[in-house]
Amino acid sequence: MRVPPGDFTLLPFPGGAAPQQVGFERVELARILDLYGRMVAAGEWRDYAMDFTRDYAVFAAFRRTADVPQMRLEKRPALRNRQGMWALFGEHGQVLKRGHELAGVLAPMERKLVKLV
């Protein structure tokens, strides 16, 4: 059956719906856990936590389990076109770095690791 022009409705593409929660892609998580493993080997971190919501995903690293996070990495896709979807927060909640690329945002932690070793 042929549909005359202008007599149809567009249906959304199945993959075009907004995700129910934000998460880390495999490559991103591998990079984050690689840094975490090296910091554990250096004796800096002992525990981590991840949180996934509709708006953001968070990876937090702790010196001790019952402590505040020493580092918190957030991925907020809504900020992708503005200041970058990645943000690195310090122990007291201060923004250490923001950016579009994960490697650039993790750079301060990488430098800290080099100083520790």
- Matching residue, tokens 């970058």: 84
pLDDT score of 5 more than 80:
no
Looking at residue 68, what is its pLDDT?
A: 87
Give the separation between CA 70 and CA 36, rounded to whole angstroms.
Answer: 12
Q: What does the pLDDT look like over 30-76, one tens digit per residue? A: 999 999 999 999 988 999 999 999 999 999 999 887 788 999 999 99
Any idea where the domains of the chain sit in the sequence?
20-116
Q: What does the pLDDT look like over 77-111, one tens digit per residue? A: 988 888 889 999 998 889 999 999 999 999 998 88
